[in-house]
Structure 1
Amino acid sequence: MSDITEALTQAVADACGRHPSSAGASGTVEWNVPLWSALDQIGITLLSVPEDRGGSDGDLVTAAAVLEILGEHSATVPFAETAMLAGWLLAECSAPIPAGPMTAAVAGPDVTLVEDAGGWVLNGELARVPWGRHADHLVLLVGRHVVTVHRDEVDLRPGANLAGEPRDDVALHRLAVPADRVHPLPADSAVDARLFAARGVVGRLAMMAGAARRSLEMSLAYASERHQFGRPIGGFQSVQQQVAAMAAEVLLCKVAAQSAAQALDSGADWELAVAAAKVSAGSAAGTVARIAHQVHGAIGFTDEHDLRRSTTRIWSWRDEFGSVGEWARELGTLAAAAGADGLWPLLTEGGARAVAG
């Protein structure tokens, strides 16, 4: 980690410490406005957006480092949605990037965008849009167009993931969109639904890595405090073995997120790295959550205990932007396409390019 990235992540950690996120009634998540303002003051809410478009010109490796800190603190802000997805989409077509929190989504086949009388008409529904109710703007990828929609222009049906984070259904009822908010992508742009999903995967993997680290820290602390048969449970070999296995999986989560971010930063041959990272980290993070709850026993499942805030996020995030199974099939397809003679070069040369990037 460079000195600049280390200083940046420390500033983010300090901001999270000053403005901790908390859960509301019935496990719902409260939008952390003070933390978002602090991140905005640091100047990173558009971290991965080019400087000439109003961003900080950071790469995805740096964004992943920031997201790892936010994941560790269970931060209730749409940083990945704003910095890595919505801002990126708008920058790709040289469109104005509005201030404030944003979210982004890919329009499915049921969403239509039709030119009409000098403007456009957007119609259809979007399922489980992250932070929809709190984002000032929703940025949509509709085919080869990027569309900016104001929150008050759509109908929202509130929903949530297992951790209580907003995942809202958005209804677009023949919404009239001015021409200056519909932007065609350049002909040579690599932006598509797969690349959007890959960037989303990197964001979620980085946050999972942070949540996994926090789960390990809490498990180590609890194992030293909880006594059975006259000594801390951390003194028993079986618990030590479980915690050691947990620590290895935490490191795997971090390396997987970094590897996927490096591959996307390289601009080419990212498919293998992202698919492998999703599959390996998804399995590793699940193991971390399982062992953490085994160490804590029943207390770790209660609403009052902080462990639940990390583990429910792990379980939720690993299924977003494609499930582990879907990315495993992608990985298998890549391996089968390479064939017997091409598999080793695919693994070694692709990995080398990702690291070099």
Structure 2
Amino acid sequence: MRGEHRHELRELAETIFADARSRASASETGFDAGLWTTLEQAGLARLTLPEAAGGSGGSLTDLAVVLEAAGAYAARVPLVETDLLAGWLAHAAGLEVPAGPLTAATAELTIQPTGDGATVSGTLPRVPWARAATAIVVLAGDRVLVLPPAAVEITEGSNVAEEPRDTVTVADVTLGPGAVAAAPDGATARLGLRAALGRTLLLAGAARGALAESVRYAGERVQFGRPIGRFQAIQQQLALAAAEVAAVAAASAAAARTAAADGFGADTTAFAVAAAKARASEAAGVVARIAHQVHGAIGFTREHALRLVTTRLWAWRDEDGSEASWNDELGARALAAGGEGLWPLVTGAP
């Protein structure tokens, strides 16, 4: 029954994101308000949050299906930030989860207690989707803060995919008791793993999207009297890209299953997420390179849909931990496990 449910969820997500993509120009950037409204109406915007927090009570494996589809169609909405990060952090801290699209940040801020609230100052660099968010949920040391965008200064910025990565300046903002709470245990590590898993699932989708565009184009582009997809050199490159896409899909799905079963506080989850993000970041460059080699110069134009997924591959491979940083984490955990603990660590066996 779960397999049937997952299949129906995948069909729903693919339909929603494909429809949004078909209605938008390849040159459009910024928040897609229409898509967000559709996701909220379908119960996908806060899929893993409990119903008491305004969510749908779904599982991480359900969310994995939705995020992979979002990556494949370059969806311009803060799904990871709203559901996996800001929504979870606010709810775990016992705060009311604000309505609408949310974003999250981790930063060192100056916090002065004022009764049951606090006065806050500081700077939050490169906050995803800050300009579109109804609230910014911040993990500041041992405190969780909910900042209203109207009370802060937002300087717009972007990553290479032109997704919002804004600087938020907080100058003596006073927050009431409903916007300040103690951070849950292990919040920093768990938030980092959640962000990395979400980014990995988006990378898996973007890699699939780049491969699909390349296979389609190779079947349509005629050179020397036949489609270029019939040339052995093109076939070999597409096969290599397909292998990378399959590897990332397997690693990201395994990480999501492990997190769903063991929780983000488990060593098994930390290892699985680290391995998946490192593998996805490695594959991102390979898949993007092959996709542009197959397309030639046309794939680099602003009007071409390929740009939407390849620029995200380039941007996301370094966000929420690069390939090198997560490989360092894997190495440290393997050394700490020692000879006897390495096999159980890798396989998850007791």
What residue identity is the alignment partner of 2:145?
Answer: V
Runs of 4+ in 1 over 3 A off after TM superposition: 21-24
- CA distance in structure 2 between the aligned counterparts of 1:218 and 1:333, rounded to whole angstroms: 38
Partner of 1:227: 222
Aligned length in residues: 344
SS in 1 for 2:239: helix
Q: Residue 28 of structure 1 contacts residue 165 of structure 1 at CA under 8 Å; is this kept in 2?
A: no
Which residue is equivalent to 2:165? 167
| 1:297-308 alignment, distance < 5 Å | 297-308=296-307
For 2:64 and 2:20, locate their aligned partners in 1 and report how far apart those are by CA, in whole Å: 20
- Using the TM superposition, give the Cα deviation of residue 13 of structure 1 relative to its aligned residue in structure 2, in angstroms: 2.0
Which residue pairs with 1:309 in the alignment? 308
Could you tell me how far apart the structure 2 residues matched to 1:263 and 1:105 are? Answer: 25
Contact 2:193 2:273 (8 Å CA) reproduced: yes
Separation in structure 2 between the aligned mates of residue 282 and residue 214 of structure 1, nearest angstrom: 15
Aligned twin of 1:341: 340
Residue in 2 aligned with 1:180? 178
Distance 2:117 2:187 in 1: 23
Say which SS state the counterpart of residue 98 (structure 2) adopts: coil
Mapping 1:26-65, distance limit 5 Å: 29-65=29-65
Q: Structure 1 stretch 222-231 or stretch 130-139: which is displaced more?
A: 222-231
Aligned partners of 1:218 and 1:225: how far apart in 2? 11
> Among residues 220, 231, 238, which one is paired with 1:236 in the alignment?
231
Which residue in the other structure is 2:156 paired with? Answer: 158
Superposed counterparts of 1:211-226, under 5 Å: 211-226=206-221
1:87 is matched with which residue? 87
| CA shift digits 1:72-95 (9 cap, x unpaired) | 111101111101111111111232
Match among 205, 213, 218 for residue 200 of structure 2: 205
Q: Which moved more, 1:66-75 or 1:265-274?
A: 265-274
* 1:162-185 deviations in Å (ceiling 9; x for gaps): 000000010111211112210223
Q: Which moved more, 1:191-200 or 1:29-38?
A: 191-200
Report the CA distance shift for 1:144/1:23 in structure 2 as closer, same or farther (over 3 A): farther
Q: How does the TM-score come out when normalised to structure 1?
A: 0.92
Provide the secondary structure at the position in 2 that maps to 1:319: coil
Larger mean Cα displacement after TM superposition, 86-95 or 166-175: 86-95
- Segments of 5+ residues of structure 2 without an aligned counterpart are none
- Counterpart of 2:247 in structure 1 is 252
1:311 Cα deviation after fit: 0.3
**Aligned residue in 2 for 1:6:** 7
Conservation of the 8 A alpha-carbon contact between 1:61 and 1:261: yes
- Paired with 1:283 and 1:200, the residues of 2 have a C-alpha distance of 17
> Structure 1 pair 210/42, CA: closer, same or farther in 2 (3 Å)?
same
Contact 1:72 1:211 in 2 (8 A): yes
Q: CA deviation at 1:224?
A: 1.2
2:128 aligned residue (107, 130, 134): 130
Counterpart of 2:173 in structure 1: which amino acid? L
SS in 2 for 1:336: helix
Give 1:251's aligned amino acid: A
Counterpart Cα distance in 1 of 2:81 and 2:191? 11
The answer to whether the 8 Å contact 2:70/2:202 transfers is yes
Any idea what SS the aligned residue of 1:133 has? helix
Q: What amino acid is aligned across from residue 48 of structure 1 in structure 2? A: T
Residues 345 and 43 (structure 1), Cα distance of their counterparts in 2 relative to 1, 3 Å cut: closer
Q: Is the CA contact (8 Å cut-off) linking 1:202 and 1:274 kept in structure 2?
A: yes
8 A Cα contact 1:113 1:123, kept in partner: yes
How much identity, in percent, do the aligned residues show? 44
- After superposition, the C-alpha distances for 1:286-331 in whole angstroms (9 at most, x for unaligned) are 2111111111111111111111110000111111111111111111
Deviation at 1:202, TM superposition (A): 1.1
Aligned equivalents of 1:208 and 1:47: distance in 2? 19
Change (3 A) 1:98 1:242: same
The Cα offsets for residues 123-181 of structure 1, whole Å up to 9 and x where unpaired, read as 11011000000001000112222111111111011000000000001011121111221
Superposed CA offset, 1:58-106 (max 9, x none) = 1211111101111111110111110111111111123211111110111
> Matched residues in 2 for 1:345 and 1:73: separation?
37
| Structure 1: tracts of 5 or more residues without a match | none
TM-score w.r.t. structure 2 length? 0.94
Contact 2:96–2:178 under 8 Å retained in 1: no
Q: Give the CA RMSD over aligned residues.
A: 1.7
Matches of 1:279 and 1:46, distance apart in 2 = 26
Determine the C-alpha separation between the residues in 2 that align with 1:93 and 1:122. Answer: 18
- Distance in 1 (alpha carbons) for counterparts of 2:249 and 2:307: 20
Displacement of 1:23 in angstroms is 5.8
